[in-house]
Structure 1
Amino acid sequence: MPNRFYRRRWDQSRGDEFDGWGQSVWFFEAGDYGWPVRQVEVYDAGRILRYGPSHQEDRYGGLSEASLYDSGDEWSGFEITKAEFERVWNSGTE
């Protein structure tokens, strides 16, 4: 099964010491059974975080450790193209 790509806005702030970054848009590349392979978090205040095989975590967070499909949410409405994901992954902007 080929990887799928998603873009989803979270209208909540982080709730931690970096709460001032504001709300965010998350981009996922999901592999088999919805497991994240790469993700990008773009915060309203301009901070951008990237996680993937070569950088799985840092002091701000990390690559999601649960299948997107296990959340019970329907992800089909958030699907984007691989090209859209790659643009954000490579440039870090929406």
Structure 2
Amino acid sequence: MPTRFLRRRWDESRGDEFDGWGRSVWYFEVGEDGWPVRQVEVYDNGPVLRYGPGHEEDRYGGLGQVSLDDGTAVWKNYTIARDVFERVWDSAGE
């Protein structure tokens, strides 16, 4: 499967010491093997986390460690264009 770009809203809070960040929207670049290559997490109360090559984790979390090709078609509902992902990725690096 070719590289894909996904966006998904999570309406659950983190449930950890950073729970006050609120709910979030997650953006993924997913490789041909279904595993996240790059990821951005945008929280309702401001924080933005960015993970990818050279920065796979930090004290707040890390790049997803599960394949997003789980045998169901669920993730197809969250597909976005590459340029949408790239805009979010670029703005998260500032």
What's the TM-score, normalizing by structure 1? 0.92
> Where does structure 1 lack aligned partners over 5 or more consecutive residues?
none
Number of matched residues? 92
* Runs of at least 4 residues off by over 4 Å: none
- Give the secondary-structure state (helix, strand or coil) at the position aligned to 1:38: strand
The 1:2/1:62 distance shift into structure 2, 3 A limit, reads same
**Equivalent residues in 2 for 1:32-43 (5 A)?**
32-43=32-43
Tell me which protein shows more helix as a share of its residues: 1
The amino acid across from 1:69 in the alignment is D
CA distance in 2, matches of 1:20, 1:72: 32
Paired position in structure 1 for 2:86:
86
**Offset at 1:86?**
0.2
**Equivalent residues in 2 for 1:2-17 (5 A)?**
2-17=2-17
1:35-72: per-residue Cα shift (whole Å, max 9, x none)? 00000000000100000011000000000011012285
**Offset at 1:73?**
6.2
CA distance in 2, matches of 1:68, 1:15: 22
Paired position in structure 1 for 2:59:
59
The amino acid across from 1:64 in the alignment is G
Paired position in structure 2 for 1:48:
48
> Where does structure 2 lack aligned partners over 5 or more consecutive residues?
none
